[in-house]
Amino acid sequence: MASEFDLIARYFDRPAAHAVLGVGDDAALIRPGPGLDLAVSADMLVAGRHFFPDADPAQLGHKALAVNLSDLAAMAATPRWALLSVALPEADEAWLAGFARGFFGLAERYGVDLVGGDTTRGPLNLSVTILGEVPAGQALRRDGARVGDDLWVSGELGGAALGLRHLQGQLRLAEAEAAACLERLHAPEPRVALGRALAGLANSAIDVSDGLLGDLGHILERSRLGAEIELAALPVPAVLAARLPAPLALACLLAGGDDYELCFSAPPGRRAAVQAAAHSVGVAVSRIGHIGAEPGLRVRRPDGGLLDMEVTGFDHFA
């Protein structure tokens, strides 16, 4: 049976074009460019908690990296280097080949070098550490929102959560609808270019990994402010729009995870610039509300009333 070293050499040791030293020594060596801050983040995917143990390995490879790229996107950083730590129940080479294909497929598209990691036997667990560069002081942070800022979100919300509910048997989607939602769930596209384009325009940003209310709540908490958003302004895929306002659809939209869109705030005077930046990278953005001084997060219904967060259970997320 292949040793840990054979597996690393076969599946993870690729030339690192942008590192001083990549895989193979006790540590990698990287050299950030002058005048750049290093953005560093880690995200772990655990079998049975974040994915089904029999999930497609190529999709897992993609997603393990994508969720990390999404964190750097939310900081307006350019991803450069990744470390990958994997625990595997067995040396399943077909699984490793698929995983590496998904991982490097995405890594190559974004110019990310895999420069190190760890490989061990154990319950299936995938942990990626990502490092990227952002011009000094330009990172978008959660604590930068200002009173009066517009709130924006990229792409569409709720599709991935709808796909998960479909897999869990909580609802039935038609085949084509299911395929689109599962693509969102299994192969999210991190908004890296949008994040970079928003540097200097947005005051704050976060990626929507756990659901809009919860993640926007983190911006409000760190910025010590409140917000109001309009249900009718939220961008939803048609498959979800058709099911609103059923509680399950509302939950997917407001509190569904795995969208990996960006939620950000920017001054109203920059509306045109935000639209132009989004257009330049080919991503749609929607203006969904605004930041206010009054603490808390309010969701306005299409009829003008406020969504009762306690009745709906959404107060846990806001």
- Contacts with ligand ADP, residue ranges (CB under 6 A): 8, 12, 23-26, 84, 86, 114, 116-119
What is d(CA 68, CA 81) in angstroms, rounded to the nearest whole number? 11
Q: Is residue 4 close enough to count as binding Mg ion by CB under 5 A?
A: no
- Give every CB contact of residue 63 below 8 A, 6+ residues apart in sequence: 45, 51, 102, 186, 187, 188
Pairing type for strands 296-300 and 226-230 reads parallel
Give whichever of 99 and 317 is closer to ligand ADP, judged by the CB atom.
99
4: its two tokens: 């840990």
Q: How far is the CB of 118 from ligand ADP (least distance, A)?
A: 5
Give which of Mg ion, ligand ADP, none residue 86 binds (C-beta under 5 to 8 Å, depending on kind).
Answer: ligand ADP
Instruction: Compute the least distance from the CB of residue 291 to ligand ADP, in Å.
Output: 41
From ligand ADP, Mg ion, none, interface partner of 143 (C-beta below 5 to 8 A by class):
none
Residues 97-126 that bind Mg ion (CB under 5 A): 118
Smallest gap from residue 112 Cβ to ligand ADP (A): 12
Minimum separation from the CB atom of position 8 to ligand ADP (A): 5
DSSP notation for 49-73 = TTB-TT--HHHHHHHHHHHHHHHHH
Structure tokens that stand for 203 in this block: 């005051």
- 3-state class (DSSP) for residue 266: strand
Query: CB under 5 to 8 A by kind: which of Mg ion, ligand ADP, none does 25 bind?
Result: ligand ADP
258 marked among binding-site residues: yes
Closest to 168 (Cα-Cα) out of 44, 43, 252, 58: 252
> Is 54 labeled as ligand-binding?
no
Give residue 180's identity as a one-letter amino acid code.
Answer: A
The answer on whether 210 is annotated among ligand-binding residues is yes
- What is the DSSP-derived secondary structure letter of residue 220? H
259 is in an annotated binding site: no
Neighbours of 241 (CB within 10 A): 14
* Partner touching 197 among ligand ADP, Mg ion, none, CB below 5 to 8 Å by kind: none
314 is in an annotated binding site: yes
Return the one option of Mg ion, ligand ADP, none that residue 78 interacts with (CB less than 5 to 8 A, by type): none
Q: Is 26 annotated as a binding residue?
A: yes
